[in-house]
Amino acid sequence: MDKIGYIPKDQRKKILLISDDLRAFSGCGRIAKETANEKIKQIKLNSTEQALRIAAQKKGIQLTDEQIKKTAQDINLAVQGNMRAWDQLKQSERDAVRKAAEDAGGGQGIMDLIKLLF
pLDDT value for 102: 66
pLDDT value for 117: 43
pLDDT value for 63: 82
Burial 66-75 (b: 16+ CB within 10 A, else e): eebeeebeeb
- Give me the tens of pLDDT residue by residue for the chain, a chain 118 residues long: 455 567 788 888 777 777 767 677 777 778 888 888 888 888 888 888 888 888 888 888 888 888 888 888 888 888 877 777 777 777 787 777 777 666 665 445 444 444 544 4
Helix (H) or strand (E) segment spanning residue 34? helix 27-59
Predicted structure pTM score: 0.55
Domain ranges of the chain: 21-117
